[in-house]
Structure 1
Amino acid sequence: MRAGAYRVPVVLQRPLETRSASGEITTTYEAAGSVFAALRLKSQSERFAESRTASSKTWEIRLRPFPGFSGGWRVLSGTRVFRVLSVCDPTGRRRELLCEAEEETT
């Protein structure tokens, strides 16, 4: 059996916002499901900011449709965390979602 294009196991996390008694909003994430995806690095850049080098990586993530999946969610792949910027259905046939995501660095 062939794995096909979607061979990387990932966990999808949806954002949850909670408001404290003081009115402060805190965003946490909960696991919404585990799926297989295809990951591809689209661009990478480095810049000098505040006396240090800051890097940015933009990724293309392809996966099967998942209910409610949209920008603002997170995708976990092992120890890597991706912040989903946008989600679209490139063909309009509900067979695949194309996501643009930024890798979060710690």
Structure 2
Amino acid sequence: MTRAGDLDRPMRLERPDRIEASDGEAEIVFTDMGAVFVALAPASLAQRQVLERVDGVASHSATLRAGSGIAGGWRLVEGARVFRVLAVDDAPRRSGYVTCLVEEEGR
């Protein structure tokens, strides 16, 4: 069970936005949605062997307060470290928290 004191890492929450130009080109930019406090823990089975190379799956689990609207594709940023949200489990939302599986970029 998560307690407020477990949320000990200040991170920035970023939402992906698709920007389309008049010529049909599109890009994804990330909008800063503000600071959140997160409990970050290594995920078990964080990698797998694919075609003789190690491929990342989920490197960490992140727990934060419910109500941020976080979804797959969003990012959690801590300094130079960026964690891409792969999945969100909001089943424990009644407790006031959501848990995300995240992958650290560049890892």
TM-score (norm 2): 0.80
1:39-50 mapped onto 2 (5 Å cutoff): 39-42=40-43, 43-45=45-47, 47=49
Instruction: Tell me which residue corresponds to 1:88.
Output: 89
- Cα distance change, pair 57–41 in 1 and its aligned pair in 2 (3 A): farther
CA distance in 2, matches of 1:84, 1:46: 18
Q: Which runs of 5+ in 1 are unaligned?
A: none
TM-score (norm 1): 0.81
Greater mean deviation of Cα atoms: 52-61 or 81-90: 52-61
CA distance in 2, matches of 1:73, 1:84: 5
4+ residue runs of structure 1 moved beyond 3 angstroms?
Answer: 46-49, 52-55
- Output the aligned Cα RMSD: 2.3
Which structure has greater helix proportion?
A: 2
Aligned length: 102
1:54 Cα deviation from its structure 2 partner: 4.9
